[in-house]
Amino acid sequence: MSRRRSVMSEQLKEELAKDLGFYETVQNEGWANIKAKDAGNMVKRAIQLAEQAASRK
């Protein structure tokens, strides 16, 4: 079974989870047990941050 390479750093994922309010789930149960909605919101937020960073250049 192949492992996917994460695009986001562990630190960024943790920061986003904290900001979005589900970091406790990550700490207690791991990333595999977050809700799909939370994962989607995390990706949306990461995209927003990337777009903001790109617009500053």
Residue 56 has pLDDT above 90, yes or no: no
Residue 2 lies in a domain: no
Residue 57: pLDDT over 90: no
20 neighbors 42 (Cβ within 8 angstroms): yes
pTM over 0.85: no
Q: Is residue 28 part of a domain?
A: yes
Given this model, what pLDDT does residue 2 score?
59
CA distances from 25 to 1, 14, 38, 48 (A): 26, 11, 11, 23
17 neighbors 23 (Cβ within 8 angstroms): yes
pLDDT tens digit string along 5-54? Answer: 778 899 999 999 999 999 999 999 999 999 999 999 999 999 999 999 99
Q: Is residue 4 part of a domain?
A: no
Residue 24 has a pLDDT of 97
- In Å, how far from its chain's centre is CA 18? 9
How many distinct structural domains can be found in the chain? 1
Residue 39 in any domain: the answer is yes
- Domain, as residue range, for 50: 10-55
